Amino acid sequence: MPELPEVETFKQYLDSTALRQKITDVEVRDAYVLKRVSARGLARRLKGLRFENSRRHGKHLFVRTGNELWLRLHFGMTGSLEYLDQDQVAPKTARVIFHFVGNSELAFDDQRKFGEIELIEDVDEFLRARGLGPDALTIGLLQFKAIFGKHRGAVKAILLNQQLIAGIGNLYADEILFRARMQPATEATRMSSEDLRRLFHATRYVLEKAIALKTDFNRLPKSWLLTHRGKAGRCPRCGRALKSATIGGRTSWFCAYCQKPI
Ligand SMILES: [Zn+2]
């Protein structure tokens, strides 16, 4: 499931491939991913415009196409972007294809169709209406500490709550907690100022490192939990069997020896 690092990687990909080209048509192969806009409406409003720049907040990508017109992309469970030159064929599971002058295309590929495409006029208004918290990559230490100081519950549930901090999903939350050496069920209100500092720096490090590696799982450090999590998985630090627990409705993997309860 695309989390902040994947969406940031899609942003960089879109910025380096699809900006500033005139949109000649929008082909909707499956309108299920369209939200509050019809296939005809989407094409009518975008034809003749260009993707000018983009902005990411949490797991949402916003692409500016005019003064008060943004394309909002959310990648759901399996969404991704693919830029195609004129002789390349779009994937079978492409749901929406943006055609540009010169016959290049940008495909919104989404096998399971939990993704979303919408047109909005104001990004900040959208973020307010959704009640999204600050972005996990740009939040400062003081604000981070304040959020954990004000909310009860498992530290992992707080990391996953998009209304408190936007962008972190199940996989990276486990990785952040592994790096910070904290168990996912740790009660947030029991964490000291130093614990929170450690968690903050682990968050920043994991997200930035994953982006720098373009979220390529084969290139992620072997010392990370991500490539080891799952049944029969062993802790890359101490070699003991990993444990799992359900927290906030999601399966967490952790090492009960390296990650101490607080
Ligand atoms: Zn361990």
pLDDT > 90? residue 255: yes
Handedness of CA 12, 13, 14, 19 (dihedral sign): positive
Tell me the per-residue pLDDT of 203-241, one tens digit each, with 9 for 90 and over: 999 999 999 999 999 999 999 999 999 889 999 999 999
In the reported structure, the alpha carbon of residue 173 is separated from the centroid of ligand 1 by a whole-number distance in angstroms of 17
Q: Which residues are CB-neighbours of 157 under 8 A, at least 6 positions away?
A: 247, 248
pLDDT > 90? residue 262: no
Tell me the per-residue pLDDT of 122-147, one tens digit each, with 9 for 90 and over: 999 999 999 999 999 999 999 999 99
In the reported structure, the alpha carbon of residue 256 is separated from the centroid of ligand 1 by a whole-number distance in angstroms of 7
pLDDT > 90? residue 33: yes
pLDDT > 90? residue 86: no
pLDDT of residue 6: 98
pLDDT of residue 87: 84
In the reported structure, the alpha carbon of residue 4 is separated from the centroid of ligand 1 by a whole-number distance in angstroms of 26
pLDDT > 90? residue 259: yes
Cβ atoms 184, 245 nearer than 8 A: yes
Show which residues are catalytic: 2-3, 59, 250
In the reported structure, the alpha carbon of residue 259 is separated from the centroid of ligand 1 by a whole-number distance in angstroms of 7
> How many other CB atoms are there within 10 angstroms of residue 58's CB atom?
23
Q: Which residues are CB-neighbours of 87 under 8 A, at least 6 positions away?
A: none
pLDDT of residue 67: 81
Sheet holding 105-110, edge to edge: 23-28, 94-100, 105-110, 79-84
